Chains A and B, each alone.
Chain A
Amino acid sequence: MGGRDTDIVLLDENGIRSDGRKVNETRKVSIKAGVLKNANGSAYIEFGENKILVGVYGPRDVHPKHMSDTDTGILRCRYHMAPFSVGERKNPAPSRREIEISKVIKEALEPAVMLKQFPRTAVDVYMEILQADGGTRCAALTGASVALADAGIPMRDLVAGCAAGKAADTVILDVNNEEDQAGQADLPIGYMPNLEKITLLQLDGVLTPDEYKKCIEIGIDGCKQVYEIQKKALQEKYFSNGEGK
């Protein structure tokens, strides 16, 4: 971040990015719901080169007991990067960054999940990053929301995640690893498309007010595209061999 010098051309004269995308194009996203037998709900998501597996348990008993809340259920999230998810081996112990991302994903999911229906219980979301290529928090959030729906946990809406940002002085959609490292700004967004509400908003870098507005605009647009893929994944699992109307 902060526009480090690099040999990579982030944006060529035709407006094509280093990985061949246009400025307002997301990476290829594919999601499969219900991939794990032993979890109550699960999803596998490929967001460009990101590969993430999400498992959801619950609602279930809270352990340790003192964490339980008599008024509401609680949501616990763990974002974890596998040692082989990045170029250099990552220490599997939770890092400062992983703890932060776990927290922001939890807070991004909480407005959607109707935890008040299950007092004294916990819903656990485990996100395992198998391969990382920039934008893992958005991808993990997207996958987590599909896994929660797969577990049958009541939700007001699905949460779709997509980042916008700035590289080579241009506002771009869905920042990849190179653009994140060498670009000027990264703005991850979590969005509930039907309720039209933003649940996650972070900014790393510097944007002018106009650029910020543009980032939000295209970021939400990206989230809506991701939402369609989430929807398709759930429909595929639950309604594919029936005669749906």
Chain B
Amino acid sequence: MTNEKNRHVIPGEVIVSGQYRAEQNTVLDGDKVLATVIGLSDIHDGNVRVIPLTGGYYPKDDDLVVGKIASHSAMSWEVDINSCYAGMLPATDVFGRDFSSHSDDLSSKLKNGDLIVARIVNADKTRDPLLTISGRELGTIDSGELIEFSPSKVPRLIGKRGSMIQMIEGATGAQIIIGQNGMLVVSCDDPNGLLKAIQAIELVEEKVHVANLTDLVNEMLESKGE
């Protein structure tokens, strides 16, 4: 079976025909596998998928997201997670099991506009995705620069096994929290490092489909480093 990478496809385009499994962003029509979005096709061990180059964020279980508190009811917070579905953060997740809607005030812990790093516990689309902020590396964000990035380009920003993001962090000294939903928080003690990290992120967004992107970003990081 052939392994083929990175062919540019548009919706409806036949990626391959024969005995293949249609995975993310593809659909089967007889024995033909068609792309459903604009992106790069990837055939691996008989599995065909398309890595999208455009489109919004659709919550998946276990995704790490950065969200902004939008409002709250008596029992939960509604969180803007840059998606067509609003995230739901239950009050019990923050107050613990002895939460009482009579005595506890939700706005005392998280106010509208607060940023959080959360994990998606349950996203079945029949209901709004359920979030949690209890866990390692989860919780509120106190400082940093919020950047809105294109969600479909997040995998490219992370790179293979985190290579791209590690390179940017290493060269600038910045800490970058990447939400799968395309919301990023960059923090750095050195203002120049912060600026450079943001420029590098913007470069990735702009040149997302270029093959030697890592070299390009490396070049940019080094050239302005002196």
Interface of B: prevailing SS:
loop
Contacts of B14 in A (CB 8 A): 194
- Tell me if A156 is interfacial: C-beta within 8 Å of chain B: yes
- Tell me if B37 is interfacial: C-beta within 8 Å of chain A: yes
Contacts of A149 in B (CB 8 A): 10-11, 37-38
Contacts of B12 in A (CB 8 A): 112, 155-158, 192-195
* 16 pairs from A and B in contact (CB 8 Å cutoff): A61-B84, A112-B12, A121-B85, A151-B54, A152-B38, A152-B54, A152-B55, A152-B152, A153-B55, A156-B27, A156-B36, A194-B12, A231-B13, A234-B10, A238-B209, A242-B210
- Tell me if B3 is interfacial: C-beta within 8 Å of chain A: no
Q: In this complex, which of B10, B126, B152 has the most chain A Cβ atoms within 10 angstroms of its Cβ?
A: B10
Q: Is the CB of B34 within 8 A of A157?
A: yes
Taking A194-B12, A231-B10, A245-B7 as known contacts, 15 extra A-B pairs with beta carbons closer than 8 A to each other, sorted by chain A number, are A41-B54, A60-B84, A118-B125, A150-B54, A151-B54, A152-B37, A152-B52, A152-B55, A154-B55, A156-B12, A156-B36, A194-B34, A238-B209, A242-B211, A244-B8
* A interface residues, Cβ below 8 angstroms from B: 40-41, 58-61, 70, 112, 114, 117-121, 149-158, 192-195, 231, 234-235, 238-239, 241-245
B171 to chain A, nearest CB (A): 24
A215 to chain B, nearest CB (A): 24
Q: Is the CB of A242 within 8 A of B27?
A: no
Q: How many residues on chain B are close to A (CB under 8 Å)?
A: 30
Q: Is the CB of A245 within 8 A of B6?
A: yes
* B interface residues, Cβ below 8 angstroms from A: 6-8, 10-14, 25, 27, 29, 34, 36-38, 52-56, 58, 84-85, 125-126, 152, 207, 209-211
Q: Is the CB of B210 within 8 A of A40?
A: no
Q: In this complex, which of A150, A157, A243 has the most chain B Cβ atoms within 10 angstroms of its Cβ?
A: A157
B38 to chain A, nearest CB (A): 5
How many Å lie between the Cα of A195 and that of B28 in the bound state? 11
With A154-B25, A243-B210 in contact, is A238–B55 under 8 Å at CB?
Answer: no
How many Å lie between the Cα of A152 and that of B126 in the bound state? 22
Q: Which of A41, A114, A195, A245 touches B8 (beta carbons < 8 Å)?
A: A245
A165 to chain B, nearest CB (A): 26
Minimal Cβ-Cβ distance residue in A for B83: A59
Q: Is the CB of B11 within 8 A of A156?
A: yes
Contacts of A158 in B (CB 8 A): 10-12
How many Å lie between the Cα of A121 and that of B85 in the bound state? 8
How many Å lie between the Cα of A189 and that of B125 in the bound state? 35
